[in-house]
Each structure stands twice: as structure tokens, then as C-alpha cells.
Amino acid sequence: MVTNRTFTMLKPDSLEKGNTGAILEKINASGFKIVAMKQTQMSRRDAETFYAIHKDRPFFADLVTYMTRGPIVAAILEKENAVEDFRTLIGATNPEDAAEGTIRKMFAKSISENAVHGSDSDENAFIEGSFHFSGREIF
């Protein structure tokens, strides 16, 4: 398994607010190389499958509704120590707790509309990237 890659999604609120370019610029400026990227719309089934780990949590239905309300940008990023470095770049899930200069501090509205997803492990980065991209889409 490649361990210098991670997966991210710019969530519907990022696209609705027109922050796609600014977020991608911050990702590039932080030394990440985009090896796959596309704008797409998650279906209800897609969102339920992608977030299945949370299916028994009280926020699951709201999460699925949020993630299907508009398009997302899915991307696979490459950099040494990609998962950990990207988690640092995006900041805490709750933007109120996120460090200054992080993506969530700059662009997120709330814990439930937090602008961007970042994989939490090398294993999940591979699984999540494979969910959104076929092998021929990754360079």
C-alpha cells in the first residue's frame, strides 16, 4: 500500500461558498501534489456507503443529507507523511478548535459543515481513494 498518499473531499459547503480554488491553492502551497481529482455528486447510497462507519451515530442521517445536497471535489494527494500532514493542514473537526491558518479555521462554518474531509490513516486513505477513483484515474 502506498503510504505517501491521502484522500480528501471538499464538501458541498466549500463548493457552495466558492472556496474550491482557495482551498486547492492552500493544499498545493503546503507541498501536496494532486494525483487524482474530480468534481462529482454523491448519491444517497454513495454517502451511506462511504460513511457506513457512522451508521449507528445520531448524526448519520444529517451527514448523508449534507453530503448529498450538492457536488463535492474528491482528490488523492501525495506528499511524504501525507495523512498526518494533511490532518494538520485541515485542522480540528470543529473549526472553533482548529488552529489558525488551517483549512477548517479559514473555511468551515461549524462542526457539521466543516468544509473538507481528510483520511485518518493510510489504510483509510487507500479505501476512500479507491471508493471515488478507478486505478486509471490516479497518476
Q: What share of the chain is helix, strand, coil (3-state, %, to 5)?
A: 45, 15, 40
117 an active-site residue?
yes
What does the buried/exposed string (b/e) look like for 17-35 if buried means 16 or more CB atoms within 10 Å of the residue's CB?
A: eebbeebbebbeeeebeeb
Tell me which of 5, 26, 117, 132 is the catalytic residue: 117
- Rounded Cα distance between 88 and 92, Å, is 8
- Rounded Cα distance between 132 and 130, Å, is 5
Give the residue numbers marked as catalytic.
Answer: 117
